[in-house]
Amino acid sequence: AAMELQPSHGLASRAATLATAYLCYRRGSPGRALALRSIRRARREDIDDVGHKYHLELVLEDVPDKDSTINCTAEVLYHLGSKNVAPDVQFTLEGELKNTDEADDVFYNQIRSLEKELVAENIPDSHGNVPPEMEPIRRLAWVASGYVIWQNSTENTKFHLAQIKRVKQMKRSDEYLEFDYTILLHEMVSQEIIPWQMTVLWHPHHGVQVTRDSRQPKHTLE
Amino acid sequence: MRALVLLAALVAVAAGTETFIGHQVLRIVPTNDEELQKVKELQDLEELQLDFWLAPRGLGHPVDIRVPFPSLQPLKAHLESNGISYSIMIEDVQTLVDHEKMEMLRSRRGLPLSTDTFNYATYHNLDEIYTFMDLLVAENPNLVSKLEIGRSTENRPLYVLKFSKGGTNRPAIWIDTGIHSREWVTQASGVWFAKKIIQDQENDEGLASILDKMDIFLEIVTNPDGFVFTQTQNRMWRKTRSKHSNSACIGVDPNRNWDAGFGGSGASGNPCSETYHGPYPNSEPEVKSIVDFVKSHGNIKAFISIHSYSQLLLYPYGYTSTPVPDQKELHEISEKAVAALSSLYGTKYEYGSIITTIYKASGATVDWTYNQGIKYSFTFELRDTGFYGFLLPAKQIIPTAEETWLALKVIMQHMLDHPY
């Protein structure tokens, strides 16, 4: 039995945020980060012995270009009881996402041609500034954090990437780019800021992979 | 000549000092030869230690003299008994020197010189915001005053700006920003609101009629200790900076410390938690000072506490899912306020009660204020929805403040139209 939820409902918002994070991980790149613009419709279904399933109709936006929106339907299943199993997320995008091949290639070549491995801190800085050359690095973190968020979400959490504390490019012998990120995740329900390490692999046309990630102790913040 | 010698003798008694405290600058404009001669003679009296900023030149030309404090009375008496008129150009030279020194320091340190040259499109530190407040009051003494309602844990003053056209204890609207220190767009918006009220109270009919009947109280930096901490140590700091238990952890969530459902679920009993409610209600001076103020004022009719981020307009309750008796009215006001906000830049807000729209929260500000009888109790969560979160780019400060102001005006107008 599915219960209709107001788009403003907190539970709808959490499921929508999770769905968006997952979707962004699957479809994002340094040239494209997707964020949730609004919830058009939300329903919640209690499935006995299984869990809670949310049926969502969302409007997403392509972050660099605020005027570019795309509709999406998604289903989020939070499994009953088990805290170690990530929620199941399925989605369908209505229409095509903008092609970012050119932007991705430019970024790829820029990083490959650096003499020294890239290192940066505090993106954005305290005032919300992101240097233009760091925008793709930021988007990449946003996309990769979608994986971490997906893996660690429950019906009682709502995560966003708050800041990149530190990013360090790792040398690789193959064609992939590898970055070691320490990010801060903001969890809305507990209001906690959680440092998290994630190792991110990327190659144009190959999507974003998080190969390793781990929660960090709180004192890493200062 | 004898009079001059006497004058010099009187002054010689007094010891000279190096500062300019009490020194005055007098202006004399000689209108005849006799006056001019007498003024010229003053230059010879070394004991008076007169400092001629403008020396005697001729008839009709002003003569400006800095007069050390001990020489003042004797010189004035001398001038008066000789029928030489003078005016006091500078009442106290030291005050002017101090002021100028301060201005120089300010402009070197980037402190604002007037609220017209203040940069609203950037984030400021505590000194700059407190300076801004003083400037606003100095520029508009008939409309704004600054109240100190208490002191923070680290003994910083807690300031509230009062906007009032007069009357006694008029019905009032309270607005606070910055209760959670990391929510920087809120303090920045508070600064903008303060200036906006001054600017608009003449031009904007709506605001003018609101201020004809009601006062506005605005606390811009509701958690100054936390704010300084976000500037100096940890940009993500939320709570106060108090230490209550044996725990190494510091700070209480000021939005869980109010006496409404205090300590219930929706807050944490763990001092290390971001939602730690504190050892007892109003344990935090930042909270208690507002509680005391509200109670003693007794005529606050709307209470708006501003946070970020999420783009939400919320009304009570957070501590229970029982709807407030005025739910329908608050919901309708929210709908109108959000529509007004959206009309400016298309920013999308959701609205509803705290518990259904975000989460269960006990000991929240507006739950307490509502239970005190302040019907129009609202909480805002400003921009954005998570892409920048707390680190909202400074270029979004003014658009955020502008759109939020439209929503605030809807609430204030409703209050004006529906007194209770």
**Residue B328 confidence (pLDDT):** 98
Q: Which residues of B touch A (CB under 8 A)?
A: 122-123, 184, 230-231, 233-236, 238, 253, 268, 273-275, 310, 312, 348, 350-352, 355-359, 385-394, 396
**Residue B376 confidence (pLDDT):** 98
Is A105 in the same domain as A87?
A: no
Tokens standing for residue A181 = 């990120």
Q: How confident is chain B (420 residues) per 10-residue block, as mean pLDDT? A: 62 58 88 90 87 86 88 89 88 77 64 91 97 98 98 98 96 98 98 97 88 97 98 97 92 98 97 97 98 98 98 98 98 98 97 97 98 98 97 98 98 96
Q: Is the dihedral of CA B223, B224, B226, B230 positive or negative?
A: positive
Mean pLDDT confidence for A150-159 = 97
Is A74 in the same domain as A128?
A: no
Taking the C-alpha atoms of residue B356 and residue B132, their distance in angstroms, rounded to an integer, is 38
- Which residues 64-123 on chain A approach chain B with CB closer than 8 angstroms? none
Tokens standing for residue A154 = 């429950």
For chain B, say whether A202 makes contact (Cβ under 8 Å). Answer: no
**Residue A88 confidence (pLDDT):** 97
Taking the C-alpha atoms of residue B248 and residue A46, their distance in angstroms, rounded to an integer, is 42
Taking the C-alpha atoms of residue B162 and residue B151, their distance in angstroms, rounded to an integer, is 18
Tokens standing for residue B79 = 């001038």
What is the CB-side half-sphere exposure of residue B152 using CA atoms within 13 A? 21
pLDDT band at A34; cut points 50, 70, 90: very high
Taking the C-alpha atoms of residue A175 and residue A177, their distance in angstroms, rounded to an integer, is 7
Domain regions of chain B by residue span: 24-91, 115-417
Residue A52 belongs to domain spanning? 2-94
**Residue A113 confidence (pLDDT):** 94
Is A74 in the same domain as A125?
A: no
Check which CATH number belongs to the domain holding A106 and give it: 3.10.450.10
Q: Is A182 helix (H, G, I), strand (E, B) or coil?
A: strand
For chain B, say whether A152 makes contact (Cβ under 8 Å). Answer: no
Most A-contacting residue of B390, B395, B396 (CB-CB within 10 A), to test interface? B390
The percent of residues above 70 in pLDDT, for chain A, comes to 98
Which of A189, A221, A222 lies closest to B359 in CB terms? A189
Overall fold of domain B24-91 = Alpha-Beta Plaits (3.30.70)
Burial of B364 (0-12, 13-18, 19+ CB in 10 A): buried
ipTM of the complex: 0.95
**Residue A114 confidence (pLDDT):** 94
Which of B219, B284, B381, B403 is catalytic? The answer is B381
**Residue B388 confidence (pLDDT):** 96
Is A183 in the same domain as A138?
A: yes
Which of B273, B357, B392 lies closest to A9 in CB terms? B357
Q: Tens digits of per-residue pLDDT, A40-94?
A: 999 999 999 999 999 999 999 988 677 789 999 999 999 998 678 999 999 999 9
Which of A6, A129, A191 lies closest to B275 in CB terms? A191
Please report where in the chains the tokens 């029928």 appear, as a residue: B83
**Residue B269 confidence (pLDDT):** 97
Give the CATH number of domain B115-417; options: 3.40.50.970, 3.40.50.2300, 3.40.630.10, 3.20.20.140.
3.40.630.10
Is A188 in the same domain as A111?
A: yes
Q: Tens digits of per-residue pLDDT, A164-209?
A: 999 999 999 999 999 999 999 999 999 999 999 999 999 998 899 9
Is A155 in the same domain as A78?
A: no
Is A105 in the same domain as A89?
A: no
Cβ–Cβ below 8 Å for A128 and B391: yes
Residue A222 domain-assigned (yes or no) = no
